[in-house]
Chains A and B, each alone.
Chain A
Amino acid sequence: MSLSGAEAQETELSQPEEARGGLLRDAFRRLRRSPQAIVGATLVLLFVFVAIFAPVLAPYSPTAQDLSQVRPGNFPGPSAEHLLGLDQLGRDELSRIIFGARYSLIIGVVSVTIGATVGMALGLLAGAFGGWVDSLVMRGADIMLAVPSLLLAIGIAALLGRSITSVMIAIGVVNIPVFARLLRGAMLSQRESDYALASRSLGVTKGRVVLKHVFPNSLAPVIVQATLALATAITEAAGLAFLGLGSPDPSIPEWGRMLAETNAYLASEPLLALWPGLAIVISVLGFYLLGEALREALDPKLRR
């Protein structure tokens, strides 16, 4: 066999690699052209930027109180010193919103990481082994999905006690069956695909086919779900904090709790309810738009 012949064979063999890179490149090109993706990514970047640089961006400490200006039933509204006004305890609302982004981002990322890692491990087991392992994992997922997600999260968070950690665990656990089921379903359809069958017929071991081909090719829906799950996690974390299940420390600026605390002052200070509400909407909308755009970009049916 001549050298050029071997080279030719090598290029041929590496083609699936190129096709994979092609899918990602293709997806990225589609993302750049999608207005939905651009708006979503901008909102997400803004949110992450604010969360990371909160100490630099916030004009005041989120816990510093200026009680001299606050009188019962009348808190100073937006002014030049305090752009969003002061809250019921005389703290700068803008600084609290900015620091609140940190808690939302951390809770979202950690809980989705918990859900995705454990869920994918279980989904991988179910999809790779099939049989009773598959049945066990899937019936477990069915049972967990029979409880509406926020309700399950409320139950788990109540069990673990009031803390940010229990909120992260609760939302993480709720996400486990979603990721397990998703990865397993994608793997099942990939397992019967032509290239997987071809590798098997060439004598590649089952484990290698699963790890090298089936698993990486099943990841697209997982990436989409993770982005969408971040949106849900932020809403659910806010909901749990709203119900009093977040951190018991009143100095921590959680958006959901900030909203709950304004209930008593809603008639006189509606803006204090508006800011945390808007912050939640903007961050959730960012992840949601990005997730939907990713779904469209990665959907092989839509590829041309």
Chain B
Amino acid sequence: MLRFAARRVLLLVPILIGLSILVFLFVRALPGGPETALLGENATPERVAQVRELYGLDRPVYEQYLSYVQSVLSLDFGTSITTRQPVVEEIARRFPGTVELTVTAMLIAVAVGIPLGFVAARRYGSWVDNLSTAGSLLGIAIPVFALGYLLKYVFALKLGWFPTQGREDSLMFRNEHPTGFYVLDGIVTGNPEAAVDALRHLILPALALATIPLAFITRITRASVLEVAGEDYVRTAEAKGMTRPVITRRHILRNAMLPIVTVVGLQTGLLLSGAVLTETVFAFDGIGRFLAQAVFARDFPVIQAGILFLAVIFVLVNLLVDLSYGLLDPRVRTR
């Protein structure tokens, strides 16, 4: 298992190098070059010359790339054009919000999707099955921002069950945030009211964000369970008189899990990019909304760092997924 893990981690190196080249070239492909990215489009020629020298833009490209990698490794992503703050601080401040949102969404998707897909497969052709198939189709077709508006209108504006936007009530500005995870902060600082408030702010955006992974997880669980349930070893287990729950746990679920885990990993990427849209709909202060604002303001240091950051998270999540294969299925380790 250790060798399998080590090999898988080594495979990351070329991907990460490739990503850094992609993002490095990204601002250099900009009309006007990286000077524009650093200074914005209305910089004076003197400032441009100054920046070219300061950042060594007159040096050969490979030297520039090496110094870019060096600054990335020392977590220096430059300064945001709009907020004039170091990009790394801006991202660090908003990252917990996005983590809270995506983790809540994934929890909803997994907690609903796997049981729903399982029941649909076991009651193949029943109304539960048909309903879950139709529902997951709709979940795939509806854009997250359209669903976000729908949820916001019904549950926030009309019914008033949930707040319409933000991460916490504006009346709670005195709350302390030692970790940046607002729900956790409420618990840690002994302020249950703040924790509940933060949770209420999470529900609607997380629901909107959860639909696509929910749809895919339901579909793949249903397909996977249907396939495994038809295998010979399941029939053998039935024939030798094993009880239904034991067959389900030991044979069906465990073998059906691999494709489900793959989908969960892949969907994390959709969650991260979906967060850009959902956070915008709900004015939820996370990396996604920050990135969307940066796109609008053409704040390239932020766009560059944000894309690199989210891509690295996506790559790491998929590493975890691959490693979990090794735990779920011993055969993978020997390959």
Q: Is A71 interfacial (CB 8 A cutoff)?
A: no
Q: Is B15 interfacial (CB 8 A cutoff)?
A: yes
Judging by beta carbons under 8 Å apart, are A151 and B273 in contact? Answer: yes
Q: How large is the interface on A (under 10, 10 to 19, 20 to 34, 35 or more residues)?
A: 35 or more
Q: Is A238 interfacial (CB 8 A cutoff)?
A: yes
Residues in A195-236 with C-beta less than 8 Å from chain B: 231, 235
Q: Chain B binding site: helix, strand, loop or mixed by DSSP?
A: helix
Q: Is A150 interfacial (CB 8 A cutoff)?
A: yes
Most chain B CB within a 10 A radius of its CB, from A147, A256, A259: A147
> Please, which residue of chain A has its CB at the minimum distance from the CB of B212?
A235
Judging by beta carbons under 8 Å apart, are B273 and A143 in contact? Answer: no
Q: Is A85 interfacial (CB 8 A cutoff)?
A: no
Alpha-carbon distance between A173 and B36 when the two chains are bound, in angstroms:
23
Candidates B30, B145, B276, B281; contact of A151 at CB < 8 Å: B276
Residues in A123-174 with C-beta less than 8 Å from chain B: 139-140, 142-144, 146-152, 154-155, 158-159, 161
Judging by beta carbons under 8 Å apart, are A244 and B19 in contact? Answer: no
Judging by beta carbons under 8 Å apart, are A154 and B141 in contact? Answer: no
Judging by beta carbons under 8 Å apart, are A143 and B141 in contact? Answer: no
Tell me the total A-B contact number using a CB cutoff of 8 A. 130
A143 surroundings in chain B (CB, below 8 A): 15, 18-19, 21-22
A178 surroundings in chain B (CB, below 8 A): none
Q: Is A117 interfacial (CB 8 A cutoff)?
A: no
> Please, which residue of chain A has its CB at the minimum distance from the CB of B20?
A143
Q: Is B221 interfacial (CB 8 A cutoff)?
A: no
Residues in B83-141 with C-beta less than 8 Å from chain A: 137-138, 140-141
Judging by beta carbons under 8 Å apart, are A151 and B141 in contact? Answer: no
Given contacts A147-B307, A151-B272, contact A273 B141 (CB under 8 A): no
Residues in A280-300 with C-beta less than 8 Å from chain B: 280-281, 284-285, 288-289
Candidates B26, B137, B141, B149; contact of A159 at CB < 8 Å: B26
Given contacts A143-B22, A146-B15, A266-B149, contact A280 B143 (CB under 8 A): yes
Q: Chain A binding site: helix, strand, loop or mixed by DSSP?
A: helix
Q: What's the nearest-Cβ distance from chain B to residue A87, in Å?
A: 15
Judging by beta carbons under 8 Å apart, are A150 and B143 in contact? Answer: no
> Please, which residue of chain B has its CB at the minimum distance from the CB of A292?
B137
Judging by beta carbons under 8 Å apart, are B153 and A242 in contact? Answer: no
B141 surroundings in chain A (CB, below 8 A): 231, 281, 284-285, 288
Most chain B CB within a 10 A radius of its CB, from A149, A154, A238: A154
Given contacts A150-B276, A243-B295, contact A144 B29 (CB under 8 A): no
Alpha-carbon distance between A243 and B274 when the two chains are bound, in angstroms:
12
Residues in B265-302 with C-beta less than 8 Å from chain A: 269-270, 272-274, 276-277, 280-281, 291-292, 295-296, 298, 300
Q: Is B150 interfacial (CB 8 A cutoff)?
A: yes
A100 surroundings in chain B (CB, below 8 A): none
Judging by beta carbons under 8 Å apart, are A139 and B26 in contact? Answer: no
Judging by beta carbons under 8 Å apart, are B303 and A243 in contact? Answer: no
Candidates A155, A231, A260, A277; contact of B303 at CB < 8 Å: A155
Given contacts A244-B295, A259-B145, contact A146 B153 (CB under 8 A): no
Q: List 21 A-B contacts (CB under 8 A).
A: A139-B14, A143-B22, A146-B18, A147-B22, A147-B314, A149-B273, A150-B270, A151-B310, A159-B30, A235-B143, A242-B145, A242-B277, A243-B280, A243-B296, A263-B149, A273-B149, A280-B146, A284-B143, A285-B138, A285-B141, A289-B137
Q: Which 5 A-B pairs have the closest CB atoms?
A: A143-B18, A277-B146, A150-B273, A148-B269, A285-B141
